[in-house]
Amino acid sequence: MMVSRIRCNVSFGFFFVPFCAFLWLFFECAKPCKGRWFRLNLMAPFLTLVLAGCGDPSACMEAAFERAPSGDMLPLQIAHAGGAIEGHDYNNSVEALDFWYGRGCRWFEIDLDWTADGRLAAIHDWNAASEQLFGPEFNGCWMSRQAYMEQPRLDGLTSMDDEALGRWLNAHPDAVVVTDCKWANVDALALLSVVIPESLPQLVAQVYHFEEYDAVRALGFEYVILTLYRMDATDEAVFRFAADHELAAVTLPLDRASGSLPGRLAEIGMPSYAHTINDAGTFRSLRARGVHGIYTDILCGCEGGNE
């Protein structure tokens, strides 16, 4: 089971800022000042924003953590590919991390793929995703790390490589990144353990096959998610593996999350996530089936979300 290092980091500001606002309001109203009601009216919009956005953590679902079947406090939502921003999904950008972090999100899934010179770029792939970021002439263009970082993007956002990801995590010590390294996953995670070793406590390594688990744990990754979208294993095989291994969670595509597996996993204390879910109604339906949380592009229930 996951230990306390990765757990709910409900911001102190959720409570401190509204508390200070109420104190200010109380003392302002107590002053025998002719203009206090005028000042109070000016403060009303500010107080409304503070109390609506910060006073109740459930007002923004991406800020919500809940005790999972494992007993750990885990997020209800994980920002898929960093989260969509300005209508751009699969962007894996610095701006997306900053945007959703500022709205309370603390867990992010980031795509990583190999560069032509053997490093890792935060990109979904060098085909459709590369075309989306840079234009049709870049479909199939396998870039070096330097070329990727220097190439201007059509969305105007900032690309990340392995080192940039480490710098962002270092600047946000309460953030967690779930890795999505589709090709040569164990080698990619080994590279991360060398390039950004100080970030390992903030990384949750996804594995795509049972056989990867021991190798990834041996690299020093304490937190591992088994993700099923590239596996042919039966529900029974997944259930047995989850029962016998220390996993942070099991992540399922929507078709498998809609079956009986999430409920069975919950019975043995294993949290499950579904991907990629951008609709609050679907989220609620999955929760009723035992799914703990979702990977989502547009975080449901908050600004920019989809109710």
**Structure confidence by residue, pLDDT tens digits, 229-274:** 999 999 999 999 999 999 999 999 999 999 999 999 999 999 999 9
Between 58 and 109, name the one with better pLDDT: 109
Supply the pLDDT for residue 301: 55
| Other CB atoms within 10 A of residue 72 CB | 22
Whole-model pTM? 0.80
Between 13 and 194, name the one with better pLDDT: 194
Say if residue 190's pLDDT is above 80: yes
Split at pLDDT 50, 70, 90, the class of 11 is very low
Give Cα separations from 189 to 96, 111, 149, 273 (angstroms). 23, 12, 20, 21
CA separation for the pair 271, 249 (Å, rounded): 5
Task: Please state the rounded mean pLDDT for residues 153-165.
Answer: 98
Say if residue 293's pLDDT is above 60: yes
Between 7 and 156, name the one with better pLDDT: 156
CA separation for the pair 3, 200 (Å, rounded): 14
> Of all residues in the chain, what percent are helix, strand and coil, respectively (each to 5)?
45, 15, 40
| 60-296 carries CATH number 3.20.20.190 | yes
Lowest-confidence pick of 58-72, 83-97, 212-226: 58-72
Supply the pLDDT for residue 241: 98
Portion of the chain with pLDDT greater than 90, in percent: 72
Supply the pLDDT for residue 37: 25
Say if residue 209's pLDDT is above 80: yes
Helices and strands counted in the chain (H then E): 12, 11
DSSP H or E run through 96 = helix 94-101
Supply the pLDDT for residue 300: 60
Split at pLDDT 50, 70, 90, the class of 95 is very high
Supply the pLDDT for residue 64: 85
DSSP H or E run through 274 = strand 272-275
Say if residue 18's pLDDT is above 60: no
Average pLDDT, the chain: 83
Question: In the chain, where are the structural domains located?
Answer: 13-54, 60-296
CA separation for the pair 151, 73 (Å, rounded): 39
Supply the pLDDT for residue 7: 41
Span 30-85, pLDDT tens digits = 444 333 222 223 333 332 233 233 333 333 444 588 999 888 999 999 999 999 99
